[in-house]
């Protein structure tokens, strides 16, 4: 039997739809038309499978796409808090360009001791950003404001991860990229979609678009009916100790870099 399994970060993407068209989107949402959205049933099944396998999670992160575009987001958040004793906190990410609905605010407020809302402002709809921040403050919901437009951007902006193009690096070069990636430095920024648990969002997005080969050694099928929970736990434990994944060769390798020469202005919008 495996030792206790705690995943530092698990990302759930209720929807890959987004109202912005960011040129440097890390998971290339505007560049590709396929933008899946989770049903309440799929979301419920996914969370149950994760917590059947993992004992606990540090941060359960709700991201996208833009989560506020999911019409049943309040119901999905309520499902998350059914497992409140199994995770430390929820980080909720929004682009400050979609208004908060009252039902979503009510759920976040009811569980404000375990919530941090990350407001990534790209300067697209300043009136919405201002209103959202006022609502979060009035409801006493913990939040963090990240300015991603103009000068003095948060973390000096973004990096260009590139399209899903193979670089044909050596295994040693990809291992170096993997070990330096900030996803890995955080113990994995695990993303789950379609029942597949991947090290990072780039891996799950690239494979669902069939731009990156889907290889058994790169992910865990949390829905696999042919394996027991203990077998899945063992597989996850092994996956947590790999030295690289296939997606590394399809990435520019700048994620998390502190080199200002590789930082770019975030939020630049592609033409419609």
Q: Which domains does the chain have, with CATH numbers?
A: 6-262 (3.20.20.70)
pLDDT digits (tens, 9 = 90+) for 159-218: 999 999 999 999 999 999 999 998 888 778 899 999 999 999 999 999 999 999 999 999
Nearest 5°: CA angle at 90, between 37 and 217?
60
| Beta strands 196-198; 190-193: pairing state | antiparallel
CA atoms within 13 A on the CB side of 3: 5
Return the pLDDT at 262: 83
What is the reported pTM? 0.94
pLDDT tens, residue by residue, 37-91: 999 999 999 999 999 999 999 999 999 999 999 999 999 999 999 999 999 999 9
Q: State the average pLDDT over residues 142-162.
A: 94
Cβ contacts of 97 within 8 Å, gap of 6 or more: 19, 20, 66, 122, 124, 125, 128, 129
Residue 1: the pLDDT is 47
């Amino acid at each position: 039997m495996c030792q206790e399994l705690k995943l530092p970060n698990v990302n759930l993407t209720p929807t890959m739809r987004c109202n912005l068209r960011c040129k440097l989107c890390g998971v290339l949402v505007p560049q590709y038309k396929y933008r899946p959205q989770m049903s309440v049933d799929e979301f419920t099944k996914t969370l149950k499978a994760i917590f059947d396998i993992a004992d606990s999670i540090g941060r359960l992160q709700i991201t996208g796409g833009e989560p506020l575009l999911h019409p049943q987001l309040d119901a999905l958040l309520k499902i998350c808090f059914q497992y409140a004793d199994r995770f430390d906190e929820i980080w909720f990410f929004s682009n400050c360009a979609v208004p908060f609905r009252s039902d979503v605010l009510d759920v976040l407020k009811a569980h404000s001791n375990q919530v941090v809302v990350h407001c990534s402002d790209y300067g697209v709809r300043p009136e919405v950003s201002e209103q959202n921040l006022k609502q979060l403050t009035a409801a006493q919901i913990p939040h963090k404001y990240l300015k991603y437009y103009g000068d003095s951007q948060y973390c000096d902006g973004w990096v260009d991860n590139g399209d899903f193009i193979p670089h044909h690096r050596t295994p040693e070069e990809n291992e170096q990229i993997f070990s330096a990636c900030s996803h890995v430095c955080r113990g994995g920024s695990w993303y789950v979609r379609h029942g597949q648990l991947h090290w990072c969002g780039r891996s799950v997005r690239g494979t669902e678009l069939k731009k990156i080969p889907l290889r058994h050694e790169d992910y865990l099928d949390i829905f696999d009916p042919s394996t027991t929970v203990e077998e899945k736990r063992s597989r996850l434990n092994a996956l947590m100790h790999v030295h690289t994944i296939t997606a590394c060769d399809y990435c520019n390798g700048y994620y998390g870099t502190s080199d200002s020469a590789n930082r770019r202005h975030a939020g630049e919008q592609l033409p419609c």
